[in-house]
Every structure is written in structure tokens, then in C-alpha cells.
């Protein structure tokens, strides 16, 4: 992969869930460069989460080609996932969940550590760094189930940052956060993008996006209907005008 190559390249990709009669994503073509900030919008059920899970190889690609971080997703999704962070949506942990924050964040390193190996010094250092980036180092020894929804969201974000991802896929990252935490996360995302991390974010909240150029991708019924660059202030308008009359939300 040369520096000018896109870090994510999808060509005519079709994705289907196991046992489904028809593909959930249809004929997706998308090219995203290193350090781009991409907002994915569209109505519920449009295929936004499916797109993220296709990019990191968690769903089977039935047709087409997907290259992420120079790796063929169809060939080795596990290798791709070691380099791509993915924050899943809607998590709430039971108060009796027997894991501390530090243990959870360390899991972000497990894929890169590899089978039969134990975490080393650099893994624990990466955990500390990720906790500091999110400002939750004081929660390190607390059980995750005893934290608020917003704090749990930050822990899962730290889990993804701990493995220094080249691409960060975020599915509704602001859903449990208050306005102050949103602002913090936005500053953090802006910093990550400046350092060359590619960020793809699925969100319905477009009011607090980081400064700079943003790519908007709007999806409807499993296909991309708009993919264009704009300023953060224009994002909501672009998503609304693309989805006019088709919203199922």
C-alpha cells in the first residue's frame, strides 16, 4: 500500500447476513483516504452499521472487493480487525460483570498480542495512555458494571484506542454521553484525525462535529445515495435533503 492509496476501498460490495434471503448491502463502492473524517447518515435500517461491520470483516461479503489497511477483508478479516477499532452501539453492562476498567481496555490489545502470549509492558502502557486520552485513568480499578452509561461508553472507546488503530469505526458514539463528554470526544477525534487516523462515524447527532473537512456518506436501503465532502455545519442539511421523504425513523 502506497501513501496515496485509499485506506478503505470497497468495489461493488454486497453483504448478506447468514441465512438472509437477500443482501443487506447492495453494490457499495467507496474509497476513503488516510486521515479522513467520514460521517455516515441515513434512516434506521439503511445499512449504516452493516457497512461498518463489512469494513472490519465481521460480516461475509458475498460479492465484490474490500481492501482495508492494504488487506483483503475477504481473505483475512482477523488481520484487518487488529488494525481497525470498532465501537459497537448500545452497550450496558450488568453491575455484577466481573471485569475492571483496566481489564476491559486491555482486551483491545488481545488481537495484536496473539494466541498463547501474555500481555507485556507495552500493552499495559498502551492501556494507561488510552485511559488518559479519555480522562478516565481514575476509574482503572473500578468494575465496569458499576459505572454510568457514559463512563462505560468511554471505557469501550479506550479499548479501541489502546491498540493504536489506523481506522476507527464508531457506531453511535455519542448515544450515552452528556454535552461535556461529547465535546471532549470531539476534540479527541479531531486530534486523532490530525495524527492520520481515519474516522468513520455513524451518528444522528451532527451538531458537534470536529472542525475541518468532513465527508458525508448517506445510505438508504442498503446503498450509498450521497458521498461528498462538506463543512461540519452542512452535514445535517446534506443528510436531511438526501433522506427527504424516505425516513423510516
Partner 1 sequence: MPERGLRMLEFIIQNNIVCHAVEAMLFASVACAVLSVIITQVQISSIGFTMAHAAFAGAALGMFLSLNPTVCSIVAGVSVAFLIGPLSDKARLSPDTSLGLLFGICMAVAIFFIAYMQTLGQGFSAMGLLFGDVISLYREEVYLLAAICIVAIIFIVVLYKEITAIIFDKRIAESVGIRVKPVYYAMLFVIALTVALCLPIIGGLLLYVWLVAPAAIALQFCNRLSAMFVVAPTVAAIISISGALVGLEHSLPVAPLTAVLFSVVFIAAVLLSPRRRVTFRKT
173 binding partner 1? (CB under 8 A)? no
Q: Provide, rounded to whole angstroms, the least separation between the CB of residue 65 and partner 1.
A: 21
60 binding partner 1? (CB under 8 A)? no
CA 41 – CA 58 distance, rounded (Å):
20
CA 193 – CA 122 distance, rounded (Å):
23
- Kindly calculate the radius of gyration of the chain based on its CA atoms and give it in whole angstroms: 18
DSSP 8-state code for residue 126: H
Q: Determine phi and psi for 151, rounding to 5 degrees.
A: -65, -40
79 binding partner 1? (CB under 8 A)? yes
User: Within 130-159, which residues bind partner 1 (CB under 8 A)?
Assistant: 143, 156, 159
Dihedral of CA 227/228/234/240: which sign? negative
Task: Pick the binder of partner 1 from 26, 49, 50, 56 (CB under 8 A).
Answer: 56
CA 80 – CA 191 distance, rounded (Å):
23
Q: Which is nearer to partner 1, 202 or 239 (CB)?
A: 202
Task: Pick the binder of partner 1 from 35, 62, 88, 140 (CB under 8 A).
Answer: 88
86 binding partner 1? (CB under 8 A)? yes
| CB of 36 closer than 8 Å to CB of 198 | yes
- Which residues of this chain interact with partner 1, rule CB under 8 A? 18-19, 56, 58, 78-79, 81-82, 86, 88, 91, 96-100, 103-104, 107-113, 115-116, 118-119, 143, 156, 159, 163
Amino acid at each position: 500500500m502506497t501513501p496515496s492509496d485509499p485506506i478503505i476501498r470497497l468495489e461493488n460490495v454486497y453483504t448478506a447476513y447468514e441465512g438472509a434471503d437477500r443482501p443487506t448491502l447492495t453494490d457499495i463502492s467507496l474509497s476513503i483516504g488516510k486521515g479522513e473524517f467520514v460521517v455516515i447518515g441515513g434512516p434506521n435500517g439503511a445499512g449504516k452499521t452493516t457497512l461498518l461491520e463489512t469494513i472490519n470483516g465481521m460480516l461475509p461479503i458475498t460479492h465484490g472487493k474490500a481492501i482495508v489497511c492494504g488487506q483483503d477483508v475477504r481473505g483475512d478479516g482477523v488481520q484487518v480487525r487488529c488494525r481497525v477499532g470498532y465501537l459497537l452501539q448500545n452497550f450496558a453492562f450488568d453491575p455484577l460483570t466481573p471485569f475492571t476498567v483496566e481489564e476491559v481496555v486491555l482486551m483491545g490489545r488481545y488481537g495484536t498480542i496473539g494466541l498463547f502470549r501474555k500481555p507485556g509492558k507495552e500493552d499495559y502502557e498502551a492501556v494507561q495512555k488510552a485511559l488518559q486520552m479519555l480522562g478516565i485513568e481514575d476509574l482503572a480499578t473500578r468494575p465496569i458494571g458499576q459505572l454510568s452509561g457514559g463512563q462505560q461508553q468511554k471505557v469501550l472507546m479506550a479499548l479501541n484506542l489502546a491498540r493504536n488503530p489506523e481506522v476507527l469505526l464508531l457506531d453511535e458514539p455519542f448515544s450515552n454521553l452528556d454535552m461535556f463528554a461529547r465535546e471532549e470526544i470531539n476534540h479527541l477525534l479531531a486530534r486523532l484525525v490530525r495524527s492520520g487516523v481515519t474516522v468513520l462515524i455513524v451518528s444522528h447527532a451532527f451538531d458537534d462535529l470536529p472542525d475541518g473537512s468532513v465527508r458525508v456518506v448517506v445510505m438508504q436501503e442498503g446503498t450509498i445515495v450521497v458521498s461528498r465532502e462538506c463543512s461540519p455545519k452542512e452535514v445535517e442539511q446534506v443528510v436531511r435533503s438526501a433522506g427527504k421523504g424516505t425516513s423510516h425513523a
